[in-house]
Amino acid sequence: MQKFRAVKTLQKFAAAHASIHNHFSLDRHLNPRDIFKQNRSAALAEWRQLAA
């Protein structure tokens, strides 16, 4: 928090970071490896499409 000069900037960053983290947080411990990898690949492909 010390690197942000304004609280508003910190809030913007935290909101963006939370949405990205939730997109890629796929609960690895609940899924078998092959399903986890499929979900992770789909999330990454969607992120690349959105970022392009």
Domain presence at residue 2: no
Residue % of the chain over a pLDDT of 90? 2
Residue range 12-27: mean pLDDT, rounded: 77
d(Cα 25, Cα 40) in Å, to the nearest integer?
9
Domain presence at residue 41: yes
Q: How many domains does the chain have?
A: 1
Domain presence at residue 43: yes
Query: Band of the pLDDT at 45, cuts 50, 70, 90?
Result: very high
Q: Which residue do the tokens 């890629």 mark?
A: 24
Domain presence at residue 1: no
Asked if the model's pLDDT at residue 46 lies above 80, the reply is: yes
Asked if the model's pLDDT at residue 41 lies above 60, the reply is: yes
- Domain that includes residue 42, residue range: 7-51
**28-48: b (≥16 Cβ within 10 Å) or e:** eeeeeeeeeeeeeeeeeeeee
What pLDDT, in 10s, does the model give residues 24-38? Answer: 776 767 778 888 889
Straight-line distance from the first to the last Cα atom of the chain, in angstroms, rounded to the nearest whole number: 29
Query: pTM of the entire structure?
Result: 0.48
